[in-house]
Amino acid sequence: MKVIPRIRGGLGNQLFAYAAARRIALVNNAELVLDNVSGFKYDHTYQQQYHLDRFNIKAALASPQDRFEPFSKVRRYVKRWINRRIPFEKRRYIQQQGNAFDPRLLTIRPRGDLHLEGYWQSERYFQDIEDVIRVDLNIQSPEDNENIQMSENIRSCDAIALHVRFFDSPDIVGGNNATSEYYKKALAAMQERVPTAHYFLFSDDIVAARALIDLSEHQITVVSHNPSDATAYADLWLMTQCKHFIIANSTFSWWGAWLSAYQDKIVIAPGFVIQGSKTAWGFDGLLPDSWIKI
């Protein structure tokens, strides 16, 4: 019996899909097999890459048969259509409906190979095996001098990982981006709690992000040497070295904060709700209870 998640999206969403599937496989004594092809093969818009090979993951990779090849798009469509019409607990192809936490996934008992399609963006899907997930998601350390030196700088101070993610153009107000007001309030809240903080800024548009953040040069270090999708794991690794976090409305920095091993970490997250065409945020189950919502 296999549990076969369809891995897709950016690095943060790939980690969520893995963690939920890992838990289902573990509690049902099933083999975890990762579909690392079909979710990227037709991604002509974002052209994202599979990143889970950068972690301490031992799962097998799906065969062409596991991926419904040949004619996988048509066969997957048929699987979705059929399974939506039978009771959830009897489905062998589960496609996520909506973004909110779905507790039914915790009680699923597969009756054969189970295919999963969705992001499953909540720690509730794997909270009872947290120790296992943390071992699995130990990131391979980058070996280049720039990342090694940056990690040493981070560990030498009260480092705050500060993430700014642009889903829309930085000039757009009221879209999918976290606002300058959010970052202003988050910085004030963090400064009150950690007066000796030094901020390490991560972003997909580092120039626009720096313009958004009102901090003096001696308070902030811009992390800009991992610009490509192929090196996203290195930025995530650097984030996990930090003590505290101001995250964006992004699963990438969600995981940077969650994977940090610092026991007394403070995580400040956007408390707003977005249900846009490009992203979703603020739905039930997304943010751990201990995180500060602003």
- The reported pLDDT for the residue numbered 89 is 95
Q: For residues 6 and 116, is the Cβ–Cβ distance under 8 A?
A: yes
Q: What is the pTM of this model?
A: 0.96
pLDDT surpassing 90 at residue 41? no
DSSP annotation of 30 reads: -
Mean pLDDT within 146-159: 98
Question: Does residue 256 have a pLDDT over 80?
Answer: yes
Give me the phi and psi of 25, to 5 degrees please: -65, -45
Does the structure show a pLDDT above 80 at 215?
Answer: yes
Instruction: Count CA atoms closer than 13 A to 11's CA, side-chain side.
Output: 22
Rounded mean pLDDT of the chain? 96
With a cut of 80, say whether residue 277 has pLDDT above it.
Answer: no
Cα distance between residue 201 and residue 286, in whole Å: 23
Lowest average pLDDT, out of 111-115, 242-246, 276-280, goes to: 276-280
pLDDT at position 224: 97
* Per-residue pLDDT band at 173 (split at 50, 70, 90): confident
In tens, the pLDDT along 16-28 reads 999 999 999 999 9
**How far apart (Å, rounded) are the C-alpha atoms in residues 216 and 221?**
10
Checking if the pLDDT of 127 tops 80, the result is: yes
